[in-house]
Every structure is written in C-alpha cells, then in structure tokens.
Structure 1
Amino acid sequence: MPLSVRRVPLLVLLALTFAASMYLPALHALVLDAHREAQAFFYSGTLLLVLLSAIAIATSRDRSRNLTRSHLIAMFGAFTLLPAMAVVPLLEIVPNTRTLNLYVEMVAAITTTGGSLFAPDRLSDSTHLWRALVAWQGGFVVWVAAISILAPLNLGGFEVAESRTTRTEEMRGGPTSAAPDTRVRRALTTLGPIYLALTTILWSVLVIAGEDGTTAIIHAMSTMATSGISDGTTIAGSSAGLVGEVAVAAFLIFAITRQSFTTDMNRDHIRHLADDRELRIALMMVAAVTVLLFVRHWIGALEVGAISNSDAAFGAIWGSAFTALSFLTTTGFESVHWQRAQDWSGLGAPSVLLLGLAIFGGGVATTAGGVKLLRIYTLYAHGRREMNLLVHPSSVATSRGALRRIPPGGIEAAWIFFMLFATSIAGVTLALTLTGLGFEGALTVAIACLTTTGPLAEVVLGSKGALNALPDAAKIIAALTMVLGRLEALALIALLNPDFWRD
C-alpha cells in the first residue's frame, strides 16, 4: 500500500469507499431506465469523491500519534457522518420528505438497525438497493472494527473472550499484537473477500430458488449485515419459498459466532465449531422458543382440534425456529409460517418474546447487536457457580471449565455492560416518553434501536414505517440510540476517558 494512502485518516478512506459505492445504484438505475435516479447517484458520488480526495490530500500530511484513539473516533464518525453523505442522492430521488427523515433512515441502515420510515412502495428499487448497500458496508465496518480496533481494547464483548485467545495471538504476532494501522489493513484484506464471497453465494442461492435478482441481492446483503432491510418483497412473501428461508437461516450462523468466518482470532477452535459456546447457547435458545410455542398448543387454552394436521405442525415448528433465530441475531426477518406458528400456539403476536430475543443478541465480533451471547453465557456460568455456593457454602470455589477461560475481570465487565444496557433502555424509554410517546411504544423503540433490530418496532407496533410517525425529537433520540447500540456504551465511555486522550 503506498505511503500516502497509509497516512490518510481511516474515516476519510471509509468516506471515499462510501462515495465510490454510489456508482452501483447509479448503474442499477441506468439499467432500469431510471435516468433521473442514475444521474443523482452518479453526480453525487463523483462530487463527493472530488471533495474527499482534496480532504485526503490535506489530511495525509500529519500522522496521528495515537492511532487507536483515531480509529475509535473513526468508528463513531462512520455511523454519524457517513449517513449524511448517503442522504445526498436521496434528496433528489425521494419526493415530499424532509432531510431529517432521510438522515434517520440512513443512520438506521449504516448501523445495521434496518427498519424504515417510508412505506416500501414509496421508494424505488434503486433506493432500496442503496439502503441495503449502506447497511452491508456498515456491517463490514463492524466486522473489521471488532477485530482490529475493539479486540485490542477489550471492548465489544472481547472483555469476556477466552484469555488464552489473546495470549496465543500475541505469540503468533496476530491482529491483537500488531500496530493499529497494520491490524486494520490485515482485517480488511482478510475479511473483505470472505464477506463479499458469502454475500455472492447467498445471492446466487436465492436467485436459483426463484427470487428476482434485485430482491435477492438486497436480501443477501441484509442477511450478512443483519439489517433486515427488504424492498417490500419480504422473506415471507418471497418467491424463493422455504428454500430461500433455509438458505437465509444457514447464513445467519455468521451472526452467531465469529468462529464461523474468522480464522485469525482463534485457529484452534475453528475446527470444533460445534463446541463453540455462542453457537450452542443460540441453538438452545432457538430450540427452547420453538418447543415453547409448539407445546403451547396443548397446554394452553386453545382447543386441541383447532390446528392438528401435520403440515400445520411442521409450518408452526419452522416458523417459530426461523423467526426466533432471525430476531436473536437482530435481523428481524419473519418466516412465511410465522402467522401459522402464532395461530398454533394461541399467543397471538408474542411481542415480549421477540423483545427478549433481540436483547440477548448475537455473537461477539459479528454484525448482530444486543447484549451478545458470550456475555450471557458468562453471566450464566457465574450464576451457576454462585448457586453451587449457596447449596454448599463451605466449599472452596475454583475457576473450572468455562469460567477458567474467562479473563480476569471478565465477569465484572459482563455485569457492568448488562447494567449499562438496562440503564440505557430505561433512559431512552424515559426520553422518548417525554416527546409524547406512550410507554409501550417508547419501550419498543428503545429496545429496537439499542439492539439494532429495526424491524422489531414494525412488528410490535404493527405498521410499516412506524418510526415516521414519531415526533422530530423522538427521531433524533432514536438515531442517537442506534449509534449507541452499534458502538456499545463501553466504547463511548472509553472515548470520554481523559486518560484515553493523553498522548
């Protein structure tokens, strides 16, 4: 890599890549003979590239003396400043709307929150493609930043990762031991082809299964980024049918555990994916939810004979499993059989269940949000040990099994994050109620934004574009909450630490 490019700030490089990506929807609109939209994307991308190139030249002279701090600031800037760039072409394309609505829409996309302020038919196919592409790039930023920026700082869930992982990487000269700029370049070159290849494979499978090419690429990018963005033809209404849902479910594993796509972080365990703690606890939770909704058919007040044929039973099982997995990974897709699963269980729309799954979240160093499965597992293992001490108070507690692999202070860090997460839900809910929202709506929006599960608000509140009905103050709070949920509170606290700013 040329020296001049190495000296360009990371945020500027991200902005240059972001501007160049506008040529893809421009080409898509040109193919569809939507020349006005093609011009908007092309001219916006070209003007931004010229402007950013000048900024890159001006900022490449001085090298930051604290690259780790600079990269963490770049992450914050990527989720707050890049959405303003993404709005530029939409100002000419989306009629009769305000800049604030478009900005919140793009913040929801780049933070992989998803959801939308607009009805699907109000946006063109190229605009839907741009939303999915913005979210896809945001997901890749999360992949790279987790390994190259957050892992060395013990943030983003790595504070409870196995202690021997870091020691092994230090001996191998892995990503946690190299210089900050070297870590970022290594993550880009390693994860970039993997991310692109996985998206292409899923797109090909969905096209073969019968989806339209544009819809398939949107769903493929939304699955890899766990954004849940669609063009109006949802997974439930897709012509790919059950095959498409199975393919999407299979690729959601990359939002459960980093061991499924990362070899640099823990090479010893990549061959033993079945033993991964995050994967196991995710499968247990999905199985528990599926069994609960299925067995509820017989133990609830619903008549046994209401739905009893085998096709309905299979549909109820698959609908529950797919939807539970989707919301656990904070994607937010619904199965075509989800309504049948609700009818089978007799619970209607189990909103609390979906909210709880989103709060649990996916894996560390993935695009999923929420508390993260590894932290949940850490708290569970610690709770089990404390329960044993209650039963046998005179026993000597030792760190064995899973607890021995948790670094010193990992349990305390997990508790701190969980309490910060719960406090954030309470604080955001209170702030939203002050703007005029009811308690249920405010709580739903708070959880949806903090867990980066935008479709959750639409499912629970029961309407597409639910965020568009919010007051302007609530939209601003929601956008800030999405950024908080994507970066996590501990990363923002690290930015506010005075010691972090001392050279």
Structure 2
Amino acid sequence: MARAPASRAPARPGSRLAELPFFVLLMGLCSAAGLLPAVHALTRGDRATGLIFLAAAAIGAGLTLILALATATGRARPGTRDQLFTLVMAFAVLPVLLAVPLMIAVGDTTLLRSWFEMVSSLTTTGATVFDRVDRLNPSLHLWRATVGWLGGFLMWVMAFAVLAPMNIGGFEVRHARGFGEGGTARVVMRAADPSERLARYAARLLPIYVGLTAVLWLGLLVAGEVPIVAICHAMSTLSTSGISPIGGVPFGASGIEGEVLIFLFMAFAVSRLTWSRGLLPGDHDRLIDDPEVRLAAILIGSVTLFLFARHFLGAGEAPAETEFAAAATALWGALFTVASFLTTTGFESYWWIGAADWSGLRTPGFVLIGLAIVGGGVATTAGGVKLLRIYALARHGERELERLIHPHSIGGSGVESRRVRKEGARMAWIFFMLFAMSIFIVMGALALTGVQFETALVLAVSALSTTGPLAHVAAEHPVSYAGIPDTAKAILAAAMVVGRLEALALIALLNPELWRN
C-alpha cells in the first residue's frame, strides 16, 4: 500500500529570505539604507535631498523585488565560490546604483565621480573627490558614511562565511593548505550550506556591529560632538573608512576626549578576537596571547617612540621648545595617528602636525605609508597586508637567524607555531609579493595617465590598502583625488576593489571547479 507523502512544514520567513541570491540581498540592503539620509534630510528641512533618496530607495526596492521573484525558481543553492564571485560583481555593480542619488543630489557632478565616491565608500577606503566638505550637505555625508559602514559589515560577514571556509583572506597563514581549499572552518562548512552560514553569521554579527557603533556614537555625543559628526565618525571608525563630514577629527568639537574614544575603538580593527572570540574553531586564545595584538602594540609603540624620540636625537629642524605640554601633545598626536593608519582608518590627530614638526622628519607621512601597507587584523574591516602575515614572516626570519647560529637546532613552540613559520610564512610571502606587484602595476597604469611618480606611489598604496586619507598626509604636499584624470580615477577604483577583496580571493575565483559548476 502506497504511503501518503509527508506534509511539508511551512518554511520560515528567515529561511526563505536566505534562499534568495546573495546579490539580491545586497541590493535590498543598499536600497533600505537610502532611507537613513532621506529621513535625515527631511528632518532638517532639505526636502529636495530627502525626496531624491526616498525615490532611490523605492526604485531600488522595486528592482530587488523583481529580481527576487525572477530568481525564486528553486534552483540549487550557490556554493562558497559562487558567493565570492557575487561579492566581486557587487563591488562592480552596486556602486553604480548607490551613485545615482548622490549624483542627482549634488547636481554639478558626473556619474564617474559619484561612482568613484561610492566605490571608495563601499570598500571602506574613504577617498573623496570632493575636496571641500561644504560641497556636500550633511545628508550626503551621512550617505557616504552609511555606505562605508555597510561595506565594513559586509566584510565582517564575508570573512567568516566565505573567506574562512575557502582558506583565504589571511586564514591561510595558520591553516596553510592550497588557496581556496577548506581550512579553519571545515566544521562550520559541514554544519550548514553557504547560504545558511551567511545568514547565521549576519544575524550573530549585526548586533555586535550596531552595538559598538552606537556606544561610540553616544560616547562622542557625551564628549560634546555634533550629532551628525558623531554618527559619521562612529561609523567610519568601526568600518575603518575614515569618512568625515567636517574634513577630519581635528575639526570636531569633542577634542581630546573624542580622539581617545576613537583610539579605543580602533582596537576592533587590530584583531577579530576583540569582538568575536570563539566564533570560529580555534579562536579561544586569550587576547593578550594573540600575535596580531602583540605585533600591533609593538608597531604602534615603536613607531610612536621613534617619532617622539627623534626630537632628542639631533633633529635640527625640530621646534626649540621642550615644555612638558608640547611634548605630551606631540606624543599623543603621533600615537593616535600611527594607530589610525595602521588600522587603515586614516583619521589624523589634531596634534599630528605638531608631532610631525617635533620629529624633525621632512616627510613623516612616508612612515604612515609603511603602516598602511602592514594593515590591521585578519577578518576585520582593516585593509593592508594584515598583521598575521607580517607576524608569520617575522617568525620565519627569526627561525632562519637561529639556524644560522645553531644549524642543528630544532624549532619548538608546538605544531601550530611550526606551521605558521613554514607553510604560513610561505603563503604570507606569496601574498606580500602579489601586493607589491599590484602596487607596481597600479603605479604604472597611473603613470600612463600622466600622474607623477611620487603621486602615483601614494595613490596606489592608498587604494590597495584601502586608506584613502593617506593621499592627504603621506606626500610632501597633499594629493587631490579631484585633480587626477578620469582614467586614473577608474584605475584607482579597480585597485580599491582588489585591495578590499585581496589578490588571493581573485586568484581563488580562477579555480576551474567554479566554471565547471
């Protein structure tokens, strides 16, 4: 006797939402984000800007609904590499949609310049073609900060849901296998398919991300900051985009208290263990034992002391006064700015100019270039080479020096430490070479557009390390993104995407399995 088919339980709304293509979800999220500047503009009496963003949000929601209905066909769920490919396409397509309301609201700008602005924001680079902050009204600055904040959250989720299972994005250092192969998160991969894993990590990380941003925002308000400036600086600190509606932290009303708060919250870009301990297998180390935290402390401390102590080591052009107040402000200015550029945030301290004069260096900004190249922690919103890769190279060099002195010595410290010194260092060296080659390629491409050598170097590093404000402080004279040719802007936008996703992620997309599937 034939058995009756079992009744299928109704699908939960959350599960049905997770079945939608990743790109459709991103479109819906970006469309909903347009409501924030719309509401802000309407509350401040800017009806034109508010209606522009309301219309953009409505049109984006309509397109999202159409794509959701068109793709709800019950097809097989995409794999991890498919989601990575979708992320690449999102960085190429979504900025166009995000740029349209910005272009219409500004009025006297082009789609290319607006697209560059949105690519810079979404990749958390923070480079801007609007040199004068009063060119944009507060609602448009809020839009830039919001897009950057969403880009930072996107990289948080993608790091755990996609990059860790594929063993790229810095995870390959501790779990060195082939690029794109399973590594750290094999247990997680068995627990859920990529779509469910993406939804689960998004649900777990969103309260943390929103909560940290809200705490910093409230802290800046208590310190006396203007509300719109406080929320933009809070978003930009957590996302390391460095976007500011007033031209930077030095022009804020919160003073030293605001800088201290921002400095403390930069720690979340140093190591993922500061906010996600235990989220992945093997992430149960104490924060003080994390190699990224220790290396960041060493770099920040040593560079700050170098800039401060050079005044006492015969810097002929340093200021003559050595009062305690001048020394203290120079020390703090160096400490804040060094930490900001190491985490690729790009905020400059109010006292950085004094710290630069105190050091006596002619171009102290080149020190910041090196810090931006090093970058922050793995699976954070920071860019650059990443601290864990630099740590692996340092441990490998330390071991090689030991072998020169004691050729028959045996390296200890456990299996994981040996793996970091060997396979991990090899992976880190490959990535470092790819990063260096990317700088040369971008510099060459910029030179073909007529950009000078020093300017091309600064722009290439700022794009690939996702540290847009670097262009204003690294060179002897500030570099303007608005002054470079349109072709150079397009090259830098592509470099920002490469720097945000990393070259290894793009190489993983070349795996033949992706195209066969």
For the aligned residue pairs, the C-alpha RMSD in angstroms reads 2.2
| Distance of 1:383 and 1:408 partners within structure 2 | 10
| Distance of 1:464 and 1:64 partners within structure 2 | 51
Distance 1:169 1:9, change over 3 A: closer
Correspondence for 1:127 among 118, 140, 143: 140
Correspondence for 1:250 among 261, 264, 268: 264
Correspondence for 1:185 among 196, 199, 203: 199
- Cα deviation for residue 349 of structure 1 reads 3.8
| Distance of 1:441 and 1:304 partners within structure 2 | 26
Q: Tell me, yes or no, if the aligned pair for 1:155 and 1:490 is still in contact at 8 Å.
A: yes
Distance 1:55 1:115, change over 3 A: same
Q: Tell me, yes or no, if the aligned pair for 1:136 and 1:224 is still in contact at 8 Å.
A: yes
Q: Tell me, yes or no, if the aligned pair for 2:343 and 2:375 is still in contact at 8 Å.
A: yes
- Cα deviation for residue 155 of structure 1 reads 0.6
Aligned residues: 500
- Cα deviation for residue 183 of structure 1 reads 1.3
Correspondence for 1:47 among 59, 70, 76: 59
Distance 1:305 1:462, change over 3 A: closer
Partner of 1:216: 230
- Cα deviation for residue 268 of structure 1 reads 6.8
- Give the AA of the match of 1:295: A
| Distance of 2:289 and 2:411 partners within structure 1 | 25
Distance 1:109 1:318, change over 3 A: same
Structure 1's unaligned 5+ residue stretches are: none
- Cα deviation for residue 412 of structure 1 reads 1.6
Cα deviation digits, residues 311-362 of structure 1 (max 9, x gap) = 1111111110100000000000011111111121111441210100000000
| Distance of 1:176 and 1:273 partners within structure 2 | 28
- Give the AA of the match of 1:18: C
SS at match of 1:236: helix
Q: Is 2:287 aligned against 1:273? A: yes
Correspondence for 1:32 among 38, 44, 49: 44
- Cα deviation for residue 12 of structure 1 reads 0.7
| Distance of 2:346 and 2:93 partners within structure 1 | 25
Distance 1:6 1:266, change over 3 A: closer
Q: Is 2:81 aligned against 1:69? A: yes
Q: What are the residue-to-residue correspondences of 1:482-493 with 2, within 5 Å?
A: 482-493=496-507
- Give the AA of the match of 1:501: W
Correspondence for 1:389 among 385, 403, 414: 403
- Cα deviation for residue 179 of structure 1 reads 1.8
Q: What are the residue-to-residue correspondences of 1:87-106 with 2, within 5 Å?
A: 87-106=99-118
Correspondence for 1:375 among 385, 389, 402: 389
Partner of 1:81: 93
Q: Tell me, yes or no, if the aligned pair for 1:115 and 1:465 is still in contact at 8 Å.
A: no
Partner of 2:239: 225
- Give the AA of the match of 2:115: Y
Q: Is 2:132 aligned against 1:117? A: no
Structure 2's unaligned 5+ residue stretches are: 1-11, 177-181
Q: Is 2:479 aligned against 1:469? A: no
Q: Tell me, yes or no, if the aligned pair for 1:83 and 1:106 is still in contact at 8 Å.
A: yes
| Distance of 1:433 and 1:353 partners within structure 2 | 23
- Give the AA of the match of 2:308: F
Q: Tell me, yes or no, if the aligned pair for 2:213 and 2:238 is still in contact at 8 Å.
A: yes
Q: Tell me, yes or no, if the aligned pair for 1:139 and 1:224 is still in contact at 8 Å.
A: yes
Q: What are the residue-to-residue correspondences of 1:82-481 with 2, within 5 Å?
A: 82-118=94-130, 119-161=132-174, 173-174=187-188, 177-266=191-280, 272-302=286-316, 306-397=320-411, 400=414, 403-404=417-418, 406=420, 409-461=423-475, 466-481=480-495
Q: Tell me, yes or no, if the aligned pair for 2:184 and 2:281 is still in contact at 8 Å.
A: no
Distance 1:237 1:120, change over 3 A: same
Q: Tell me, yes or no, if the aligned pair for 1:450 and 1:486 is still in contact at 8 Å.
A: yes
Deviation larger for 289-298 or 259-268: 259-268
SS at match of 1:149: helix
Distance 1:266 1:180, change over 3 A: closer
- Give the AA of the match of 1:274: I
Q: Tell me, yes or no, if the aligned pair for 2:307 and 2:355 is still in contact at 8 Å.
A: yes
Correspondence for 2:28 among 1, 4, 16: 16
Deviation larger for 143-152 or 298-307: 298-307
- Give the AA of the match of 2:135: R
- Give the AA of the match of 2:367: L
- Cα deviation for residue 95 of structure 1 reads 2.1
- Cα deviation for residue 497 of structure 1 reads 2.3
Distance 1:9 1:465, change over 3 A: farther
SS at match of 1:333: coil
Query: TM-score of the superposition, structure 1-length normalised?
Result: 0.95
Q: Tell me, yes or no, if the aligned pair for 2:167 and 2:183 is still in contact at 8 Å.
A: no
Distance 1:156 1:167, change over 3 A: closer
Query: TM-score of the superposition, structure 2-length normalised?
Result: 0.92
- Cα deviation for residue 51 of structure 1 reads 1.4
